Amino acid sequence: MSRSQKPRKKFNPNRKLERCASIMERSIARMPIRADAKRDIEIAAHIALDRLLKGGDKDSLYVLASAIDVSHELAKDPVRGVGADYLSEIESGMAAIVRAKKRGDRTGIWMLTGDDAEFVSTALEIHDAQLELASRAVVIETIKTVTDRVEGGSKETEFEEMMLAA
Q: Could you give the dihedral angle defined by the CA atoms of residues 124, 126, 132 and 133, in that order, rounded to the nearest 10 degrees?
A: -150
CA distances in angstroms from 17 to 13, 21, 25, 133, listed in the order given: 8, 6, 12, 31
CB 111 within 8 A of CB 100: yes
pLDDT at 3: 65
Of the candidates 41, 68, 64, 48, the one whose C-alpha atom is nearest the C-alpha of residue 127 is 68
Cα distance between residue 91 and residue 115, in whole Å: 14
108 SS3 class: coil
pLDDT at 122: 94
Per domain, the residue ranges of the chain are 34-165
Of the candidates 35, 36, 27, 23, the one whose C-alpha atom is nearest the C-alpha of residue 137 is 27
pLDDT at 27: 75
pLDDT in tens, the chain (166 residues): 556 777 778 888 888 888 888 888 777 767 777 777 777 788 889 999 999 999 888 888 888 988 998 899 888 876 667 888 888 999 999 999 998 988 888 888 888 988 999 999 999 999 988 888 888 788 888 888 888 887 776 655 667 666 666 5
pLDDT at 154: 63
